[in-house]
A and B are shown apart, each in its own frame.
Chain A
Amino acid sequence: MTEVKELTCISCPLGCSLTVTMEGKEVVKVEGNTCPKGKAYGEKEVTNPTRIVTSSVKVRGGILPVVSVKTASDIPKEKIAECSRALKGIQIDAPVKIGDTVLRNVGGTGVDMIATRNVRAKTS
């Protein structure tokens, strides 16, 4: 059975309109993309959609009360809420360096949460 899906590529802010043609569960054609990333996105979005998740985590003793974080790589879309919940209870100590691991294996995804900025310790 042939199925045609209309998507918007989210790989970059250009937001190309994609047309993905599927035969059963197989992707046979991706059209409308302007780069290889778009083709890959189109194929993945209809079979196994994933996202990078960004959030923030509480910091003790830093110049800011929170540090921004992200998943080190993309995680399955249905794990977004779980990932977000896993960050709620944790608090880390300043100083935090950009790239530091904040939480291992977030929400059982096998992916680590890493800091995306520095937070210096407060000099009191």
Chain B
Amino acid sequence: MREYDLIIVGGGPAGLAAAISAKKEGIHNLLILERDHELGGILNQCIHNGFGLHTFKEELTGPEYAYRFIEEAEKLEIPYKLNTMVLDISKEGKSKMVTAMNREDGLMFLKTKAVVLAMGCRERPRGALNIPGYRPAGIYTAGTAQRLVNMEGYMPGKEVVILGSGDIGLIMARRMTLEGAKVKVVAELLPYSGGLQRNIVQCLNDFGIPLKLSHTVVDIQGKERVTGITLAEVDENKKPIPGTEEFYSCDTLLLSCGLIPENELSGKMGVELSRVTSGPVVNESLETNVEGVFACGNVLHVHDLVDYVSEEAARAGSHAAEYIRSWDSIGKTEEEQTIRIQTEGGIRYSVPQIIRTEHMEENLTVRFRVGAVYRDAYVSVYCGDKRILHKKKRKLAPGEMEQVVLKKTDLTAEEGLDKIVMRVEEA
């Protein structure tokens, strides 16, 4: 059995950035475990541009963005195993035991001081959407279609309807159009798009593809292969309105209806998961309730921008390094002041959810999402009655992750503080 200081589960953008930052902080005995045949994760199939404006100040495609990190990981000689599936992570005293498997090594038991969870997320499948109708061929999640077209060189269909206006659905509307398919319509159940505004402009408007808000698929026709779908408008309770049905003939239905962090491994080892994000509840160090287990990227909460994933993952890697350096004193620390971030009034969640002021740096970035669209509203943070932050935002939308920066001095000013409240306040 080999022993490691740090094992990173997943070699996508989060895993790579976490590994690079830990290695730069002197953690040499580390290992990335990746399920696919190459590093880079989902970026490899995201061949469109728009990545890296924050990180590299230039606009890259997904594979190019991944390549920058892969190159750096190679330069730093960070070891990794490809085609390797992690089956289980469990606690073993202070350490963790990672069970993994691949064709060369067979079954492996790897002992490690710390773990970074970077497994990413999955798409919500048809089975979770309750669409009536048969189960013919021709129904794909948008990400599956993306992989087929961009990596396997295979077009899933010629006449396409897309349900859900998430970014992958929008990107695929353009991609399928450029490859010669006819994308007839994008339907969105909610009264607003879940995707970035820029993608509506450059993926739908540029190609004259209609976006129907407050619409959903109420029937799928076709027995062997999709032959058409029926759309209907929905009311404010998301119930289809009788009489608004419209038939679209098509051979393909793409689903872009949300992403869910992939936390099967985390849940099994006792990591507390948030009911809102479906990702781990973490503290300021991005550490879960299981000591020495850190989380970052889309396994923690679904991001819109990979740049933020890289930044967050680098922090997770650095905190894991700090944990490993303090290995001998772990378990000896006394009671710490912990502050819970309570989100309400329009804010659905925050990451992190918990702050231990002793471990906090001078400034802490707290990311969050809102539950509805707001214009010219304020994001406020309260310690009791005292407002410590009041930031104006021109526009807040559920599809766009936001952030505020909390100052340590604001949180330590008050003795015995155990809760702060974040909310949206309309002007």
* Chain A residues in the interface with B (C-beta under 8 A): 7-13, 15, 17, 51-56, 58, 63-66, 68-70, 77, 80-81, 84, 88, 98, 116-118
Residues of B within 8 A of A11 (CB): 53
In the bound complex, residues from chain A placing their C-beta under 8 Å from that of B47 are: 54-56, 68-70, 116
Residues in B with CB closer than 8 Å to A81 are 178
Q: Chain B: interface residue count, which band?
A: 20 to 34
Which B residues touch A88, using CB under 8 A? 180
Closest chain-B Cβ to A83's Cβ sits at a distance in Å of: 9
A54 to B60, alpha carbons, bound, how many Å?
11
A98 and chain B: residue at smallest CB distance: B67
Alpha-carbon gap, A51 to B59, bound state (A)? 12
**A17 to B396 CA separation, bound complex (whole angstroms):** 12
Stretch at the interface among B92-100, B121-129, B194-202, B274-282: B194-202
- Report if B150 contacts A (CB, 8 A): yes
Pick the contact of B206: A7, A51, A84, A118 (CB < 8 A).
Answer: A51
Question: Could you tell me the distance between the alpha carbons of A21 and B153 in the complex, rounded to whole angstroms?
Answer: 44
Hey, which chain B residues are within 8 Å of A56, CB to CB?
Answer: 47, 149-150, 153
| Cβ contact of B49, chosen from A7, A8, A52, cutoff 8 A | A52
* Binary CB contact string for chain B from 49 to 79 against chain A (1 if under 8 A, 0 otherwise): 1100110000101111001000000000000
Determine if A17 and B394 form an interchain contact, defined as CB atoms under 8 angstroms apart: yes
Q: Does B408 contact A (CB under 8 A)?
A: no
Task: Known contacts A13-B53, A117-B44; decide if A8 and B200 are in contact (CB<8 Å).
Answer: yes
Kindly state the separation between the CA atoms of A98 and B62 in the bound complex, as whole angstroms. Answer: 12
- A residues near B196, Cβ cutoff 8 Å: 13, 15
Given A17-B394, A77-B206, A98-B67; A66-B153 close (CB under 8 Å) = yes
B360 beta carbon closer than 8 Å to chain A: no
Q: What are the residues of chain A within 8 A of B67 when measuring CB–CB?
A: 98, 117-118
Contacts of A51 in B (CB 8 A): 202, 206
Residues of A within 8 A of B201 (CB): 7-8, 10, 15
Pairs of residues from A and B, 3 with the lowest C-beta to C-beta distance, nearest first: A15-B197, A68-B47, A117-B63
